[in-house]
Structure 1
Amino acid sequence: MSQHICKVKGLMSSGYVNNHWIHDPKGYSIKSGYGLLQGGHPSVGWYKDVWDAWCFPKHSIICWLIQHEALNIREKLFRLQISDSNQCVLCENGTETHEHLFYRCKYGEKIKNQLEEWLQIQLDPNCMGISMIQQRVCRMALVAFWYCLWIERNSCRMEQRLKCPERLVQEIKRVLCARIQLKLAGGVRLQDKN
């Protein structure tokens, strides 16, 4: 234990000079100390999309798990012999993988198509060729869609009941409208309005 403490102190003192962390121009902070101890992290292109401030944190967590293919989908549970089937619970047409559930499932496609028609934006993780506000709404809608799809999938698996796509779309619309109103009430930068 004492060796570990000495190692941490050594690491910290190597980056700490005259009450400032060397690599942090703003001076000492917990974040800079933690960053020094952790070392560098490779940047990932989807980080800002997942953790966008307009998205609900609980939606972002599910999105992060999707990006890492870390959800307990049926294909994974079937492989571990926890589930008796690897079929998609929602459409019953294909193996339930992350790719299938969030990008190929016919049930999910109906919901996504209705949301795109309502928003007049294609729900695409890249959100190219649209204004900053549209990009934020697009990301927020996509993350909310994935979250609600995952919750509905779990509900269907446990209770053997599935909402019609139109009902789930209405629920997602209510969530999105409330969140957009909240964010717009907080003020929007001029360049984001275009």
Structure 2
Amino acid sequence: MIQLASCYHWLIGSRPKVSWDKVVWNDWVIPKHQFMGWILAHEAFKTKTKLIRYGVDIDASCWLCGQASEDLDHLFFGCVYSLRVVQHLQQKTGLVLPVGNCLNWCLQDTGTSMQRGVKAGLILGATYQVWQQRNKCRHEGVLLRPQQAAANIVKDMKMRVHGKDWRQLNRLEIDWLIEVGLM
């Protein structure tokens, strides 16, 4: 009798282990933000520079700031708008969050698995908000202020926290969630 697992592995073949899976696919990250994390890990965002490489004739300047070419590194890690979103997010929570390679940062961060998960949720929430604002700016000519985008991230994360079974958290984790304003 053939086992199901061996059939599955035969069908999909072997796949290399990735380092970002525990960051993106953790229980504290909202599913739509998980999808953005997966896209970020695969560098699959259709930024202007990527579209130009595909042969699309467009201006390469960033939709959000207009100060540089819109590529992945600029949009999420160098754009004035995205930097301000993260800055406001840090002010609202009191946490130190990265503006560089956020997936690697989450892997190296200290704290409990819940704390790392919440931080990953906030960072991937920022990725989601920046991409959403970029698309709204592009299609509707509307752009939220960075502090409002940060407030949206915190609101989403609060909803995620309140949807959890608190009996699985210890008192220190609950105190930490209160301290960072998510409870």
User: Which TM-score band (shorter chain)?
Assistant: 0.7 to 0.9
Name the CA distance, whole Å, in 2 between partners of 1:174 and 1:76: 32
Relative to structure 1, the CA distance from residue 121 to residue 83 in structure 2 (aligned partners, 3 Å threshold; closer, same or farther) is farther
**Alignment length, in residue pairs?**
167
In structure 2, the partner of 1:160 is: 141
Consecutive unaligned residues of structure 2, counting only runs of 5 or more, are 177-183
1:23-34 counterparts in 2 under 5 A?
A: 29=4, 31-34=5-8
- Alignment partner of 2:167: what SS? coil
Instruction: State the superposition RMSD in angstroms.
Output: 2.1
**Residues 132 and 192, structure 1, Cα contact 8 Å, conserved in 2:** no
Superposition pairs of residues 1-194 of structure 1, within 5 angstroms: 19-21=1-3, 29=4, 31-124=5-98, 125=103, 126-127=105-106, 128-183=109-164, 185=165, 187-190=167-170, 193=173
Once the 2 structures are TM-superposed, how far is the Cα of residue 82 of structure 1 from its aligned partner?
2.4
Residue type of the partner of 1:129?
T
CA distance in 1, matches of 2:57, 2:29: 32
Question: Structure 1, unaligned stretches of length 5 or more?
Answer: 1-18, 22-28
Structure 1 segments, 4+ long, off by >4 Å, are 189-192
Tell me the TM-score normalized by structure 1: 0.78
Structure 2 CA distance, aligned partners of 1:150 and 1:104? Answer: 14
- Higher RCO structure, 1 or 2 (CA under 8 Å, sep 6+): 2
Mark the structure with the bigger radius of gyration.
Answer: 1
**Code of the aligned partner of 1:43:** K
Shift of 1:190: 4.3
Structure 2 length normalisation: TM-score? Answer: 0.82
CA contact (8 A) 1:69 1:98 kept: yes
